[in-house]
Each structure stands twice: as C-alpha cells, then as structure tokens.
Structure 1
Amino acid sequence: MESVNEDWDTVRTVLEGETAAYALIIDRHQKHVGAVVGAHVPPQYAPEVAHETFVRAYRSLASYEPRKPFKHWLTTIALRSCTDFWRSHYRKKESPLSDFSKDTTQWLDAVCFTESESEFERLSQAREAKEILSLVLDMLAPLDRMILVMTQLEEYSSKETAELLEISSANVKVRAFRAKRTLKKLLKKHGIEGA
C-alpha cells in the first residue's frame, strides 16, 4: 500500500508542475514495464516500446485515478504500446520460408519429412521451436497475439487479460479461441502437427 501512496503522491507532484518528479515513477516501475514489454515484443524493440510506454503514461497522467494501483494502470499502457508496435511493424501476412533462419528452415524440413517421433523429439530444440512460435505468432492480428500470449504463455486468466487490455472477458475468450485455431492452422501449414 505504501508504494500505491508513493505513486499517487508522485503523480500529484508531477501534475502540480514539478515534471522532474516523473523520473521517480520511471525509476520505480522501469523493471516492471521492461518485463511486460520484453514478453510481448522482439528484444531489439523492447527499449523503444518501454520508452514509448512511459511517454504515453506521462501524457495521460491526468487521467490516472488512484482507485486502482498505478502499476496496473501502467501495465495497461504498456500492453497497449505492445499492441500498437505489432500494428505498425507487421502487416498480417504469411511469412515466406525465406524469412526463417537457416537453422529454422532445416528444422522445418526435418519435421516435414521425418517419420519417427524420436527423430522429431531430437530435432525439437527449444531455440528453434521458440523462433518458429514467434514467427507464427507474428502472423496473427496484434490484439489476438497479445491475448494468446497472455492467456496461454503468461497464464493470465481471461478476466485479468480483459482488465489489462480494457476489453470484455467474452471478447478475450472468443479471440483466444479463434487465435488458437488460426495458430494451429499456421503451424500445420509449416508441417507441425498436433500443436
């Protein structure tokens, strides 16, 4: 509760004209915002999106109401920044195989042509699987991607996801269902069954 009061006191100080006090908010929440953003955008873009989050939060500071924790409010802005990143940097398209790294292409070829499960297990290195999942997730609509990552990989509940993204729980459930179905189709198209 002390942190909540500190945040509210700092927000009031900034709103009263001491803009330099905003550095306290950045210092206090930089790790948290970095973790949220780092989980949703490629690592090379994370600092840029985290910075954008703090800029947006500063511009919207007057709209913050202390009914909910500042950290929660800031998380919502960070997630919105991540969604906007995907909207601006990636068009909904299918990635040609040329977009995959040499290792990933070899892994996909092996998966497509291998008959034995033991060979598949041997080839399923975590690094390649993560890269493929990331590339396939990039093909989803930005909001669908965010919902799928939050509900399936980060294990947020539908209610928590809805609150953080400021949409309804029903919308989260429907989008998550559709995104999972689309993801399975995309993985199958790349020769990965039973995903």
Structure 2
Amino acid sequence: MAEKRNSANELVPDDEELVERSLAGDAEAFEMLVRRYGRAVYNVAGRFFRQPEMREDITQETFLKVYQALHTYRRGASFERWLMKIAVNACYDELRRMQRRREFSLADLAEDERTWLEEALAKPAFELFEQQQQSEDAAALAEKLLASLSPEDRLVMLLYERDGLSTAEIGELMGWSRSKVKIRLFRARRALDKRLRRMLQMARPASALKAKADEPESQRANER
C-alpha cells in the first residue's frame, strides 16, 4: 500500500488505501477520509448555500453518498475529484428540492438594493458576479436573481462565473457534454439578463416617483 507523509513528517495512508480499508469494514479508515476532505466538501457547499446549517447537511449527505458508492470508485483515479463530483451533485439535488419558480418583484428588494439596481443600468446581468466582492448590495441582488433560475442554470452560472471552471471541467463534474454546458450557460445568462431588465424597467418609474416626491414644494408649484 502507498503511503505519504503529513506536515509532521508522519507516514499516513493514501486515499486508495483508505478506500480499500473502508470497503473491508474499517470504520476508522473512512473517518480519516472524512477528516481529510470534510472542509473541502463544506467549502463546495458554501458556493451554493449561505446558511452554515445547510452546508453541514450537504457535507453529511455527501459523505453518506460517498460511503454508499465506495465500491464504484475506480482505483488509480483521483479520489478527491471523484468526491468533489459527488459533492457538487449533492448541492444540485438540494437546489432541485428547494426550487422556487416564483418571480420576485421590486417590492422584494431593500432600499439599498433598489439604489444599486438603478445604478446597474446598461450593464450585462452576468457582470453582477464580478462585482460581488465590491458591493454587498450587488451580492445580495445576485443571490436573489440566482434563486429565480432553475437548479441547472444556477449551478452552471456559479461554477463558471464565480468559481472560474471551464466548460470542460463543469461537464466532467456533472457528467454533461461540453455542448450541454455551453447551452446551459447561454440560457442562464439570457435568463438573468431578462430578469434584471424587467426589474430595471420597474425601478425606473419607481425612482422617478421618488425623485418627484423629494422635490421642493415651490418647484412643484412652479411646474403647475
């Protein structure tokens, strides 16, 4: 069996050995895999869900699926890559369960989100992702827009725009062809842009009414 050394220069079993020992009924070996990759799986869940409780649930569900599917792991392949694929699919399954098809409206937005929305005029919708680190309002609005997408579209947008994965890498994770990933990405961008434009159209008259209400009484009297 192959071994490697950890940061303390101690010999530790590699992933393949731990998998084989787990398949033989060694519970401690599987616990070592969980400790080794638990944080990575939790971080994957964090790409899709903000709530810590949800991330914990996804992490537990992922390792349950891993344990049940250990016999399908192909010796010689990257265990970490195989595990991450299961983690992403667990997130996808949860998104499907949580799917909400309702359209949200301007009334669903906070005042600061409305302000940011007005300033986003003439920008492609997918640029929201590039601004998430710069603006909390942009991040909050992007999350709401993402929540309105289908699970497939939301997943591909997050993996491509936020995580920087290529279409080939997304296809490998999801078991999709590159052409399917590209089609999903195109549809997701178009759907986001459509929703953002609709909200911008609603924001404009609302903003105009607010500006009118803020005018001095003397100015409104002169206009009359």
Q: Which bracket does the TM-score occupy, shorter chain normalised?
A: 0.7 to 0.9
The 1:129/1:97 distance shift into structure 2, 3 A limit, reads same
Cα shift at 1:91: 2.0
Q: Return the alpha-carbon distance in structure 2 between the equivalents of residues 113 and 132 of structure 1.
A: 13
From 124, 128, 141, the counterpart of 2:150 = 141
- Where 1:191 maps in the other structure, the secondary structure is helix
Where does structure 1 lack aligned partners over 5 or more consecutive residues?
A: 116-123
Q: Return the alpha-carbon distance in structure 2 between the equivalents of residues 112 and 9 of structure 1.
A: 57
Where does structure 2 lack aligned partners over 5 or more consecutive residues?
A: 5-12, 122-131, 202-224
Q: Return the alpha-carbon distance in structure 1 between the equivalents of residues 63 and 24 of structure 2.
A: 18
Map of 1:26 onto structure 2: 34
Cα shift at 1:176: 0.2
2:46 matches 1:46: no
Cα shift at 1:129: 0.6
Q: Which amino acid aligns with 2:28?
A: A
Map of 2:100 onto structure 1: 91
Q: Number of residues paired by the alignment?
A: 180
Map of 1:15 onto structure 2: 23
Higher relative contact order (CA 8 A, sep 6+): 1
Cα shift at 1:110: 6.3
**Coordinate RMSD, CA, aligned:** 2.4
Q: Return the alpha-carbon distance in structure 2 between the equivalents of residues 145 and 110 of structure 1.
A: 22
Map of 1:153 onto structure 2: 162
From 179, 188, 192, the counterpart of 1:183 = 192
User: Residues 108 and 191 of structure 1 are in contact (CA less than 8 Å); yes or no, is this contact kept in structure 2?
Assistant: no
From 100, 113, 133, the counterpart of 1:107 = 113
Map of 1:121 onto structure 2: none
Q: Return the alpha-carbon distance in structure 2 between the equivalents of residues 36 and 110 of structure 1.
A: 28
Give 1 or 2: higher helix fraction: 1
Cα shift at 1:24: 0.3
Map of 2:217 onto structure 1: none
User: Residues 58 and 91 of structure 2 are in contact (CA less than 8 Å); yes or no, is this contact kept in structure 1?
Assistant: yes
From 54, 63, 87, the counterpart of 1:78 = 87
The 1:98/1:49 distance shift into structure 2, 3 A limit, reads farther
User: Residues 108 and 190 of structure 1 are in contact (CA less than 8 Å); yes or no, is this contact kept in structure 2?
Assistant: no
Q: Return the alpha-carbon distance in structure 1 between the equivalents of residues 97 and 148 of structure 2.
A: 13
User: Residues 144 and 179 of structure 1 are in contact (CA less than 8 Å); yes or no, is this contact kept in structure 2?
Assistant: yes
- Where 1:29 maps in the other structure, the secondary structure is helix
Calculate the TM-score normalised by the size of structure 1.
Answer: 0.83
Cα shift at 1:177: 0.6
The 1:14/1:131 distance shift into structure 2, 3 A limit, reads same
Greater Cα radius of gyration, structure 1 or 2:
2
